[in-house]
Amino acid sequence: MIREKTALVTGSTSGIGLAIARAFAAQGANVVINGLGAPEDVEDERSRIEHEFGVAAHYANADMSKPADIIDMIATAERELGSVDILVNNAGVQHVAPIEDFPPEKWDAIISINLSAAFHAIRAVAPGMKKRGWGRIINTASAHAVVASPFKSAYVAAKHGVAGLTKTAALEFARSRITVNAIAPGYVWTPLVERQIPGTMEARGMTREQVIHDVLLEAQPTKEFVTSEQVAALAVFLATDDAASITGAILSMDGGWTAH
């Protein structure tokens, strides 16, 4: 039962995370949203969730590159909403450049936001989930948790790391009724994908249309973008009792990309 549980979704002011937060709220869960954005836009999204679904929606402005912020966000959510039953580690950033030109500070930021943040959040929610004897941890990985693409060294390394963290946490929590899984989407049309188009154009000497068709959708046999709502529906399923035996899985949703 998801109703009246609390779902905390990192990086949920935009794209996939926002769709996941809305999908949990639609099931009657209270939600904590998190992420960057103009305060008035964030407040719009937060209050829309409360009004549309009749649940409590809180906003945490934690910077996911800062462990202390993450620990404080979880403690605040547990205090204000009673628990964090469902944790979705979704915040992510991207940078596209050849390794020789890849700025080391971008490498550090991607590893901290896309990988280390999930470790810190899991570490902080685990004691409460164990005490209550129930928990769901869902990590937004990527097809890049399974295969690589050139010019995305930090992202691919971080997402492969998320896959390893997912499996390890699943084993450690297997007897505590806490499942840990990763969703590995292919290309989903979100601001994150739109923003990497200029870098890819430059790295590969391509036009915008060539990047969309010859790089992004080239990888995806269906030739269609995955939707945020499809990812959110899988996240909700993973939180149901029917999914209690799915743990340690890296679940591809990539239009056949990794079947190559």
- Residues with catalytic annotation? 155
Closest to ligand NAD by CB, 64 vs 81, is: 64
Cβ atoms within 10 Å of 210's Cβ, excluding its own: 15
Helix (H) or strand (E) holding 185: strand 178-185
Nearest distance from residue 37's CB to ligand NAD, in Å?
6
Long-range contacts of 150-153 (CB under 8 A, 24+ apart): 150/98, 151/96, 151/97, 151/98, 151/199, 151/200, 151/203, 151/204, 152/94, 152/95, 152/96, 153/99, 153/102, 153/107
Which residues bind to ligand NAD, rule: CB under 6 A?
Answer: 11-17, 34-37, 63-65, 90-93, 113-114, 140, 142, 185, 187-188, 190-193
Residue at token pair 């399974």: 146
Please check whether residue 90 is in contact with residue 11, taking contact to mean a CB–CB distance below 8 angstroms.
Answer: yes
Query: What is the closest distance, in whole angstroms, from the C-beta atom of residue 142 to ligand NAD in the complex?
Result: 4
Q: Which is nearer to ligand NAD, 14 or 181 (CB)?
A: 14
**How far is Cα 226 from Cα 183, in angstroms, rounded to an integer?**
12
Chain-centre distance for alpha carbon 181: 11
For the CB of residue 64, give the shortest distance to ligand NAD in the complex, in Å: 4
Beta bridge mates, 184: 252
b/e burial code for range 127-149 (CB count within 10 A of at least 16 → b):
ebbeebebbbbbbbbbbbbbbee
Of 148 and 192, nearer to ligand NAD (C-beta) is 192
111 closest CA partner among 169, 68, 157: 157
When the beta carbons of 4 and 72 are compared against ligand NAD, the nearer one is 72
**What is the nearest approach in angstroms of ligand NAD to the Cβ of residue 162?**
8
Query: Could you tell me the smallest distance in angstroms from the CB atom of residue 228 to ligand NAD?
Result: 7
Nearer to ligand NAD, 126 or 226 (CB): 226
